[in-house]
Chains A and B, each alone.
Chain A
Amino acid sequence: MKTWKWMICCLPMLWADTACVRKNYPVPQQPADTATLWRYQTIAEFKANMGSSGSKSINEAVIISGSVTANDRTGNFYKQIIIDDGTAAIPLLLDGYSLYTLFPEGRHIQIRCKGLTTQFSNKLPQLGYRLNSQGTLLPIPWQLIDMYITKGVPGSSPQPLRVRLSEVRKALPELLNRLVLIDSAEFSDTMMPQSFAVSPDLSSATNLTIRDCDSNTILLRTSGYCSFATVRVPRGKGSIIAVYSVYNNTPQLLLRDTADIHFTDKRCP
């Protein structure tokens, strides 16, 4: 009988401290509202200070902010996100994959630019980390992202600028990297049986031609590695939203996702 008494005495010890070992973890709260992130320069002002060519290290305490308009969700953008503050837009080079997990479209972010570098790459302005020995602008290392970027709350993606194809046939510096919407556009006839991009084994990128009913054209550039590469291009006509870009003097559109194409009307006669 005494043995059982001893055993009963032991029981509380057996259950002691259980909560300290097998813990429950409450879900963390979303980041606080940081919509009022400081901005000391607009992106337009920032780009104006870049000049028109070459590269420049930023040694002053410059802070810009904006919303993410494009990222690498579908793989058509690689190691970069596009930031737009309503005055202008600029690509931010980041050395990481699946950047969209941190920088979804519409998220407001602040960039502390001191220590970063700007460069014109084939006449396209970019913001990145530093130049390497070959003069190439390096992306901000993944490990250092928190040093330069403060993440704000998610929001809706900025509305695209409505433009006509005839207006953007020539490179327009003020539109570079902006999200644009073009109405009444369609893929040229020669593109019809083609998918959005050829296999990356053949070419890393594919140029498709977008035209309007007045035969104005612009290139739509897609990566062979993007998730919609094998999707057939739509036959109809309609609106397209894309990032306006430039390669040297040739303007081009960069597609974020096939959901940005609404070619549901009849083609141009």
Chain B
Amino acid sequence: MYQKNLVLGILAALFTPPVLFAAPGTLMLSGQIRYRDGNLLTESCTLRLPRLKRIETTTGDGRFTLDDLPPGKITVQVWVYEQLADSFTVALGDSSLQLGPLQLVPLSLSHAETAATQNETGNTEQVTTDDAVLPQAGMLLNSNDLFIANSFTFSGYGFRARAYPGQQQEVYLGGVLINSPVDNQANFQLWSGLSEVMKAQRSGNRIEANADGPGGLSGSRNYLLHAPYQTPQRKFNYTLSNRGYDHRVHFFYCPEKNPKGMMYSCSITRQWAAESRVPATGSDQYAFYASAAKSFRKTTLAASLVYQNSYRELKSAATDEAYALAGTHYYNANWGWQNGMKRNARIVTAGTPLLALHCEHTPSENTQWSFALATQLYMQANRGLDWQDAPDPRPDYYRNLPSFLSTDNPQGALVAEQLLKADPARLQIDWMRLYEANQLNYYNHQYTEEGLIKNIYGRRALYVLASDVEQQRTIHFRTHVRHDITASTQLHASFSWNSTHAHRYKQLDDLLGGDYFLNHNTYAQQSYPGNADAIRNDLNTPDKELHKGDHYKYDYHISAQHIQLFAQVEKDFRHWTLFTAVSGAVNSLQRTGTYRNGLFPGQSLGKGSILLLPAVTLKNGLTWKINGRHYLSARIYLQRTGPEDFDQVFVAPAMRDQPAAAAGMLQSTILSAEWAYIVHAPKWNIQLNAYQTERRNSTQILRYYNDEPEYQCFVNMVQTHLNIRHTGLEFAASYDLSTRVTLNGITAMGQSYFSNNPDVRLFSDNDTALSAGVKKVSIKNYYAGAGPQTIIGIGCQINAPYRWSLKLNAGYTDRNFVRINAGRRSAAAAENSDPASISGRAIFNQERLPAALLSDMLLSKSFRVRKSKTRPREHFNFFCYLSVSNILNRTDIKTSGYEQLRYNFTDNDPGTFPNKYIYAVGRTYALGINFKW
């Protein structure tokens, strides 16, 4: 991948003036490594001086300063992700040297899950994470951070570094901040098919200094979308797999920059599976990308277009009882047989076109200014079953399982269990019954429209397939400036503006044999018997019969704006590096209802008030470069912000305009500190991190069916004054046993837990009172349920002769706790229960999932074939790989679990709605070939 000719177009060395800052008696060498078009490097790389046995790193933009150098010839090796990219030699005379720009081809780097072999020309082929291991998440984890890179193996088993929420990572795409102002998250699925394109990226890990923006607790990631950042190549990839897809076809084309300064790149990808390991979970994804750029003397203009369309059939979590009845941990309750075909009810479709424009202007060597403008249309539909006045059709619904009978009718429970075990198809959706119920339900429906009474006699659908649809139109703008105030002081500043208009509604997709459906709230019918208006979701079109494509249940718009100002100053001393960053942002949110809800006619229709949620972030860091090999860093992060997720700001946005602010929502505070010790030795690389983070006064809203006698309906649990603490240690190391063998190790031990008892208010969906009393739930010291809190892993990478490579990993996860139901730790649940008793422990204890042993491997081989006898120097390059995960074929690993939010308050029995789990799939593989020419 790194083309041998680290084009040292350079070595202007001979013509550059002596550096004035060199200490008397010593020599200094400085310079900057850049992309081929003069753009800044996107990742820091390592410089090794073999003769002097010294190792230094460049800054994030490729600048370096090597001091205390003796006179004479010095060979500098440029290592990128522990791979030698190239080297150059300079002769130092009596004075220091400042080199010109050292041009390197763009770095599309992913050392984490890379089995790299270098061919004779210096080209390095890789199996990147996205190619072979986990296509969806791979690009997330391309990182130069030793810990993040090595922890990748565990991500498929629920591990999330430090257990931070997704909102705590800023994502930039094509120069703009892509986090949605609606939920403050970036949807990685939308460009996951473009793995080759997204390899060009710049990351700011955790709370390190970050050129792009303040970042969150998890840092930031900047995908350099445009053509100038792409690696010139023609590449075809085919992968056969049994993971998220069966087949993957990928084509990427990026020619060299032409003499007129034009650069192009394009990519097209499709990956699909008729059915993956879990039954009825097919997927299909298309991705298209095209980019063009032109560079002028000081300016580069670029435009890129991205289009993605995806279709996924989902798997469900299930209880242990359902898994046992099905006899497999691949049980999926979302599908059933229909006319001899497996049909999945839960389908997610998504599509987005994105057009991004980018202008980068470099008026001087010290200053770089960029502007980016992007517009994005985004649509996502989550399809599932919906029903009215009919039994719950989900086969794993608690009333449909034998355990429901076990108390009152144990004999019936036994027969039902035998029946289900004998015929597992009974554990799937009975589509025939749903059609039958609709087709038999003749109903005379009368309603008034424009003063006329209409009468409809037909089959009123009881079961339908419907989608929760979200459509967004977003405009992103961002300008960013980098200015070198002095040779060692750098300023980054940016301004971002994002404006989103979102439309959310429920859409009727399939009447399943019925003629029409009604826009009724059946739960309100139970709460307000005889109140004809209460059951109408929209009083403006009451009782109108619905057909395919119609909206119902809820329909509202969101206007969201996000403005952010950011500045960071970084100062580099001989033994110290300091930075300070500050950011101010405002998020504005407004709900506009389209429906006049029968329960909330005054609070549902029209524009609601505009909520302004300011945020301030302050970040500081200090690194002590003890010597060329040892670094010690300390960083702090302080943020004051409101909830930035729309769904955590409004109590029940589907029905009414009721901000949670009235329920005690506060500005939350985040305090974080981390310490890092890093060693870069010739054979050793070590990273040790310690961290502590306090998230105080958070607000969290949970929506579920509440079985408490006073509710018996869907409620919105608003938790305020919620404090969460994250603390722990992370360690990663690699050791070059020889030039061909590298050993890796990683461990993380953390604790993410609730550190107080929050205030809780329960707002019923259908309660027109709009108020709720404060309750307390006792969740202090319960784990936040965010994946394994302990991981240990070891790995070995062997680069064998003849361009064979093998990587083996073994891992261990533990202290993985299920996500708790706070309502189960309330006074209502604690009544008549002794926490020390067996039954009490079943209610209050947080289940710890069993520890798990993991194993995976990656085998690769590269070779090349001469194109023709007449062109002996031109070759076709092939790269084959086989990646196997979960080699031991363990299908009993529970990767995650949660307590159901519904709880049997009448009997105080946690067994009525037991925990649900997701199991790891067994042994999976990806067999692929890359072809470059």
Within 8 A of A (CB), among B415-456: 415-416, 419-420, 426, 431-433, 435-437, 439-442
Are B412 and A129 in touch, CB under 8 angstroms?
A: yes
Within 8 A of A (CB), among B454-483: 462
Q: How far is the CB of A101 from chain B (nearest CB, A)?
A: 4
Are B236 and A144 in touch, CB under 8 angstroms?
A: no
Residues of B within 8 A of A96 (CB): 391, 399
A178 at the interface (CB under 8 A from B): no
Are B236 and A6 in touch, CB under 8 angstroms?
A: yes
Residues of A within 8 A of B339 (CB): 25-26, 28
Are B268 and A7 in touch, CB under 8 angstroms?
A: yes
Are A143 and B530 in touch, CB under 8 angstroms?
A: no
Q: How far is the CB of A99 from chain B (nearest CB, A)?
A: 8
Q: How far is the CB of B646 from chain A (nearest CB, A)?
A: 30
Interface string of A1-44 (1 = CB under 8 A from B): 00100110010011111101111011110110000000000000
Are A130 and B391 in touch, CB under 8 angstroms?
A: no
Are A21 and B284 in touch, CB under 8 angstroms?
A: yes
Cα(A20)–Cα(B282), bound, Å: 9
* Candidates B343, B390, B402, B436; contact of A31 at CB < 8 Å: B436
Cα(A142)–Cα(B397), bound, Å: 12
Are A28 and B420 in touch, CB under 8 angstroms?
A: no
Are A21 and B311 in touch, CB under 8 angstroms?
A: yes
B20 at the interface (CB under 8 A from A): no
Are A7 and B251 in touch, CB under 8 angstroms?
A: yes
Query: Which A residue sits closest to B465, measured CB to CB?
Result: A25
A14-B286 contact in complex given A7-B268, A98-B391, A138-B409, C-beta closer than 8 Å: yes
Are B282 and A21 in touch, CB under 8 angstroms?
A: yes
* Candidates A95, A97, A147, A230; contact of B419 at CB < 8 Å: A147
Query: Which A residue sits closest to B349, measured CB to CB?
Result: A22
Cα(A126)–Cα(B401), bound, Å: 26
B803 at the interface (CB under 8 A from A): no
A132-B409 contact in complex given A21-B274, A96-B391, A147-B419, C-beta closer than 8 Å: yes
A102-B409 contact in complex given A10-B236, A141-B416, C-beta closer than 8 Å: no
* Candidates B247, B251, B408, B436; contact of A17 at CB < 8 Å: B247
B24 at the interface (CB under 8 A from A): no
Q: How far is the CB of A68 from chain B (nearest CB, A)?
A: 11
A10-B343 contact in complex given A96-B391, A132-B409, A144-B412, C-beta closer than 8 Å: no
Query: Which B residue sits closest to A31, measured CB to CB?
Result: B436
A227 at the interface (CB under 8 A from B): yes
Interface string of B713-750 (1 = CB under 8 A from A): 00000000000000000000000000000000000000
Query: Which B residue sits closest to A18, measured CB to CB?
Result: B284
Cα(A17)–Cα(B240), bound, Å: 14
Interface string of B638-682 (1 = CB under 8 A from A): 000000000000000000000000000000000000000000000
Query: Which B residue sits closest to A139, measured CB to CB?
Result: B409
- Classify the interface of chain B: helix, strand, loop or mixed: mixed
A21-B249 contact in complex given A107-B440, A154-B440, A231-B530, C-beta closer than 8 Å: no
A3-B253 contact in complex given A98-B391, A101-B441, A142-B399, C-beta closer than 8 Å: yes
A229 at the interface (CB under 8 A from B): yes
Are A28 and B391 in touch, CB under 8 angstroms?
A: no
Cα(A202)–Cα(B412), bound, Å: 34
B361 at the interface (CB under 8 A from A): no
Query: Which A residue sits closest to B529, measured CB to CB?
Result: A230
Question: Total number of A-B contacts with CB less than 8 angstroms?
Answer: 122
Interface string of A88-124 (1 = CB under 8 A from B): 0000000111100110100100000000000000000
Q: How far is the CB of B103 from chain A (nearest CB, A)?
A: 25
B839 at the interface (CB under 8 A from A): no
Interface string of A147-165 (1 = CB under 8 A from B): 1000100100000000000
* Candidates A10, A132, A143, A230; contact of B416 at CB < 8 Å: A143
Are B283 and A102 in touch, CB under 8 angstroms?
A: no
Are B270 and A13 in touch, CB under 8 angstroms?
A: yes
Q: How far is the CB of B927 from chain A (nearest CB, A)?
A: 16
Are A143 and B513 in touch, CB under 8 angstroms?
A: no
B405 at the interface (CB under 8 A from A): yes
Are A102 and B437 in touch, CB under 8 angstroms?
A: yes
Query: Which B residue sits closest to A153, measured CB to CB?
Result: B440
Cα(A107)–Cα(B439), bound, Å: 13
Query: Which A residue sits closest to B266, measured CB to CB?
Result: A7
Residues of A within 8 A of B442 (CB): 104
Cα(A71)–Cα(B247), bound, Å: 52
* Candidates A6, A14, A15, A28; contact of B234 at CB < 8 Å: A6
B768 at the interface (CB under 8 A from A): no
Residues of B within 8 A of A15 (CB): 270
Q: How far is the CB of A57 from chain B (nearest CB, A)?
A: 12
Cα(A2)–Cα(B853), bound, Å: 48
* Candidates B401, B412, B440, B462; contact of A138 at CB < 8 Å: B412
Q: How far is the CB of B327 from chain A (nearest CB, A)?
A: 17
From B272, B311, B415, B529, residue with most partner A Cβ within 10 Å = B529
Are A101 and B437 in touch, CB under 8 angstroms?
A: yes
Are A104 and B440 in touch, CB under 8 angstroms?
A: yes
Cα(A231)–Cα(B341), bound, Å: 46
Query: Which A residue sits closest to B246, measured CB to CB?
Result: A17
Measuring CB to CB, which residues of chain A are less than 8 angstroms from any residue of chain B? 3, 6-7, 10, 13-18, 20-23, 25-28, 30-31, 95-98, 101-102, 104, 107, 129-130, 132, 138, 141-144, 147, 151, 154, 227, 229-231
Beyond A142-B400, A230-B529, 14 additional pairs, beta carbon < 8 A: A3-B253, A7-B253, A14-B270, A21-B272, A21-B274, A26-B339, A104-B440, A130-B409, A132-B409, A143-B400, A143-B402, A143-B405, A227-B529, A229-B529
A and B contact pairs by CB, cutoff 8 A, 5 listed: A25-B341, A101-B390, A138-B408, A141-B412, A144-B419
The 3 closest A-B pairs by CB, nearest first: A230-B530, A143-B416, A101-B437
